[in-house]
């Protein structure tokens, strides 16, 4: 069957649309951002949205380095690490914020399971760190006192 003019035009129009769709794509190509976990407004919901219904166990093998009292909640320096072998992801949460999920780090094969980041905390609250090891989650919690909240004006 030869290419009729009508079909040819249709094909051209179709590919123009797909090019437009592709142009809007690059942002999503890097990987998928856990939008549901970041949008959750409760700590438990955020954890469930990120990891699903995996069992959580309290662990002392997760270390949280952070000031006991943070004078400025807009910049709370936090270092989290774990000595649990085989951890594939470490995430930081705090119920102080409207969106409890703060950041999530994939522990890639060559990476050490330790990261530092500066975070916002709206008020005195717990810092909750979750490490994923296979189909299991480990949790460590530490309270940080915040003198001046870091969200809002």
Residues at the contact surface with other proteins, assessed by CB under 8 A: 26-27, 30-31, 33-34, 38, 74-76, 94, 97-106, 108, 110-112, 114-120, 150-153
Nearest to 147 by CA among 69, 51, 42: 69
CB of 120 to other proteins, least distance (A): 5
Least distance (Å) from other proteins to the CB of residue 118? 4
Q: Which helix (H) or strand (E) holds 78?
A: strand 76-82
Handedness of CA 87, 47, 35, 125 (dihedral sign): negative
Q: Considering the complex, what minimum distance in angstroms separates the CB of residue 25 from other proteins?
A: 10
Task: Output 10 or 36, the one with its CB closest to other proteins.
Answer: 36
Q: Would you put residue 39 in left (φ > 0), alpha (ψ -120 to 50) or beta? A: alpha
- Closer by beta carbon to other proteins, 9 or else 39: 39
For other proteins, the closer of residues 54 and 115 by Cβ is 115
> Among candidates 138, 65, 80, which has minimal Cα distance to 112?
80
């Amino acid at each position: 069957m030869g290419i009729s003019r009508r079909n040819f035009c249709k094909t051209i129009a179709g590919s123009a649309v797909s090019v437009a769709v592709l142009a809007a794509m690059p942002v999503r190509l890097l990987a998928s951002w856990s939008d549901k976990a970041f949008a959750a407004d409760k700590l438990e919901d955020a954890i469930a949205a990120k990891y699903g219904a995996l069992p959580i166990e309290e662990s002392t093998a997760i270390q949280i380095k952070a000031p006991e009292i943070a004078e400025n909640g807009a910049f709370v320096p936090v270092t989290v690490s774990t000595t649990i072998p085989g951890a594939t992801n470490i995430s930081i949460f705090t119920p102080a914020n409207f969106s409890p999920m703060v950041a999530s780090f994939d522990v890639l094969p060559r990476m050490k399971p330790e990261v530092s980041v500066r975070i916002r905390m709206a008020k005195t609250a717990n810092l909750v760190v979750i490490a994923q090891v296979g189909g299991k989650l480990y949790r460590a919690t530490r309270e940080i006192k915040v003198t001046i909240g870091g969200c809002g004006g």
